Structures are given as C-alpha cells and as structure tokens.
Amino acid sequence: MKYALTALTLTMLGLSACGGDARAPAAGPAIPGSDGPLGAVPVPDDNPLTDAKIALGHQLFFDARLSVDGTRSCYSCHQNENGNGGADPIAIGAAGRQLTRHSPVIWNVGYMPRLYWDGRSSSLEAQARGAWGGGNMGVGADNLDAKAAEIGEIPGYTEQFAAVFGELGATAETVAQAIASYERTLVCDVTRFDRYAAGEIDALNEQEVRGMELFNGKAACVACHAPPLFSAQYGTEEGVYYNVGIGIEGRPAGEVDAGRQRVTEQDADWGAFKVPSLRNIAKSGPYFHDGSVADLEDAIRYMASGGFANRNRTPLLVDRELTDEEVSAIAAFLSSLDCGELEEPELPGS
Ligand code: HEC
Ligand code: HEC
C-alpha cells in the first residue's frame, strides 16, 4: 500500500498547491492494483511502466517466434483454457523437451517476492530471460541478444522497440523488460470473493460462505494461504516454503525434487516448495509442483489430510478430518477466486 499512500499524498499536495492551474500530465499508466486489496504492484526503478512498453510486452508474451523452433510462446504454457497454468502435469518445452515441473498460474506474479516453485528467481525480468533462454523456449542464454535482434527486425516490432527503448532497440534485456512490464498488469483482485469482502454479501452463496468459514477455521488453510494473495508469501522478502509431502511417495530420496533446498542448500528446506496463491485455482488443474493431482477436490482432500509423512514434512499440516461435503464447500469457495482471461493481441508481421 506504500505506493497508494504516496500517490494520495501527492494528489493532496497538488490540489492545495496549484489551485486549478494546469497540472503536469501523469508520467505513466496508473500502477496496476493501486485501488484493490492487493495494493499497487511493485515496479522496479530501472523498468518503469509505460503504456507502450506494456503493449509491446503483451505481444512478445504471445509470440512463438521468440522460441528456438517457433513452437512456444510464453503463453503456450500459461493459457486461459488451463486457468493460465499448464495443461500438462509436467511442462513440455521447445523441441518437445520435458521440463521438471508443472506450469504455475501467471496471475498476480508481480506480487511474488520470489519466482518459481523453489523461489530461485528474484525478478520478473530475470525470470523472463530464464524461461526464454532455458528449456521452456530453448534459445540458450548466450543466443538471446541475437534472437532479440531478429525479433526487432520484424516490421511492426522495429518501430515499437525504437519508441519504447530508443537506441537500445531490441536486446535480451529490453525484451525481458517489456515482458515483465506486461506481467505486472496481470492483477487479479476483483473476484466474487473480493466483492464479498468489500461488503457485497450476495456475491457468495451459502455453500461458498460455509467453505470460506472452513478454510479459515476447521481446515486451517488460511495459515498458509492467507488473503489477499491467498499465499503467505505476500509482503515477504524471500517467499514462504513448506514441505507438504508432494512428489515424495514411492520415490527413492535421491530422485525426489529437493525444491527450495536446491536454492538454500539447507537440509530444513528439503522437499519444500513455495506456497502458491489460490487465486484462479479452480480453473488451473492439474495441481502442485509436479502436476500430480488432476482434480481440485482431491487437491483439497490431500492438503486437509496432513500430507504424505516424510522426514521433513511441516508440522503445520495435520489431518483436519473433513467430510466430503466440507471438501466440496471449500472447492465451491475457491471457485469464487476465479480471475479473468488474458487478451490475445494482434502480432506484428503475421
Ligand atoms: C514450456 C512451458 C513454458 C513456457 C514456454 C514458459 N513457461 Fe513460465 N513456467 C513454466 C514452468 C514449468 C514454470 C515453473 C518452473 C519451476 O518452478 O521450476 C514456470 C514459471 C513461470 C513463472 C513463475 C511463476 C511463479 O508463480 O513463481 C513466470 C512469471 C513465468 N513462468 C513466466 C513465463 C514467461 C514470461 C515466459 C516466456 C518468456 C514463460 N513463462 C514461458 C512453463 C513455461
Ligand atoms: C503448511 C502450509 C499449508 C497449509 C496449512 C495448506 N497449504 Fe495448500 N499448499 C501449500 C504448499 C507449500 C503448496 C505447494 C506444494 C507443492 O506443490 O509441493 C500448496 C498447494 C496447494 C494447492 C495446489 C495449488 C497449485 O497451484 O497447484 C491447493 C489447491 C491448496 N494448496 C489448497 C489448500 C487447502 C484447501 C488447504 C486447507 C485444507 C491448504 N492448502 C493448506 C501449503 C499449505
């Protein structure tokens, strides 16, 4: 909320100081989220938002020409039909190469202090370069500037890169900056739940209200999936990670995805993954970092069962002994967190 307060203070100063004189035009678009429960999305000083940059990033996010073989755009694995997560349990990258984890929901990524299931990336710009250079799109970290130059030569992109980045034009960094700027606009904060929380009590039906009460009470989901983001990582610097036993059953320890431990090298983080937001969750199956659960009610049942016992399972997860009817009520409540859809832009030269 820091940004919102600053904006408010400036408005008040402006009003009292210039008494009706023409004021300078706003420097950029309104910061996404400013008026909602999530607050203004953080924007780094070295990549300010502009409408033209957001529009450019929007096109790049949808453009498969960015990938090594023209088969994958960012959107390929973060599509509307899949709740903007992935359809495949484990994502399949360019050249048909299987990755190691499930594609997470892309809404509200601007609020995540750390990105990826293990939190190994600390900025959307770095993450975009990672996905573009790595297996997702297969270009290779060393070839990004060359690929960017190729993209920058497509009529329609040339002008936009010049207008947004001037002499820099299309480089690995400017492509990543534009994509990150677009991603910062993917704010989902006006769901039925948010309307209910703002006092519109008809926005949720009886079963959904009961589900919300269970979520906050008997099932204790709120301990980790707290509003407004429905993840405890909101507002933290490093994110929040727990071992809830996913991906461990039936695997020798050496073959388990060690998750957060691969970043921190701490034994306490073995098998721990970040607490995902539950916004848009009803639309985004399959679930968990390994996409191992197809159905939302089964995912809820798992989370409420205490999780698979292992040497590092968090003590916060215990069997809540929910009935089937209670699980359904929680699922109904979670569907009140449905977000909208990404808009498909028209792409230059295609
Ligand atoms: C082949 C599928 C695929 C493609 C293409 C892809 N992604 Fe992803 N994305 C994933 C997977 C899988 C993860 C999780 C990886 C992990 O946690 O190790 C992910 C994670 C992310 C995250 C982190 C979300 C979070 O909550 O931590 C962001 C942001 C993201 N992708 C944006 C992008 C952008 C931008 C592009 C294009 C440059 C892109 N993705 C291309 C599959 C894909
Ligand atoms: C101790 C913290 C904690 C508690 C309590 C908790 N969760 Fe989670 N939840 C997590 C973590 C961590 C993950 C990611 C696990 C993974 O993929 O390895 C997760 C994942 C999920 C997912 C899958 C999300 C996705 O993007 O695939 C759903 C759905 C979910 N939780 C619902 C619930 C519900 C409903 C409750 C209450 C019954 C609950 N959780 C309680 C930490 C928690």
pLDDT tens across 162-216, in order? 999 999 999 999 999 999 999 999 999 999 999 999 999 999 999 999 999 999 9
> Is the pLDDT confidence value at 143 over 90?
yes
Cα–Cα distances in angstroms (integers) from residue 290 to residues 207, 258, 263, 293, in the given order = 30, 12, 18, 8
Nearest partner of 84 among 341, 347, 317, judged by Cα: 341
pLDDT at 135 over 60: yes
**Cβ 161 under 6 angstroms from ligand 2:** no
Report CA(78)–ligand 1 centroid distance (Å): 8
| CA 109 – ligand 2 centroid, Å | 17
pLDDT in tens, 273-331: 999 999 999 999 999 999 999 999 999 999 999 999 999 999 999 999 999 999 999 99
C-beta separation of 155 from 348 below 8 A: yes
Q: Please give the Cα distance from 7 to 72 (Å, whole number).
A: 39
Q: Is the pLDDT of residue 105 over 60?
A: yes
Q: Between these two residues, 243 and 23, which has the higher pLDDT value?
A: 243
74 and 61 Cβ atoms separated by less than 8 Å = yes
End-to-end, the C-alpha distance of the chain in Å comes to 41
Residue 29: the pLDDT is 87
Residue type, 82: N
| The pLDDT of residue 5 | 37
Decide whether any atom of ligand 1 lies within 6 Å of the 91 Cβ.
yes
Which pLDDT score is estimated for 2?
36
| Per-chain mean pLDDT for the chain | 92
Tell which residue, 208, 205, 179, 203, has the closest CA to residue 190: 203
Nearest CA to ligand 2 atom 42: 275
CA distance 211 to 289: 24
The first and second tokens of residue 335, run together, are 């569907």
Of the pLDDT bands very low, low, confident and very high (cuts 50, 70, 90), residue 9 is: very low
Does the beta carbon of 316 sit less than 6 angstroms from any atom of ligand 2? Answer: yes
pLDDT score for 253: 87
**Residue in the block written with tokens 């989370």:** 303
| pLDDT for the residue numbered 331 | 98
Contact 93, 136 (CB under 8 A): yes
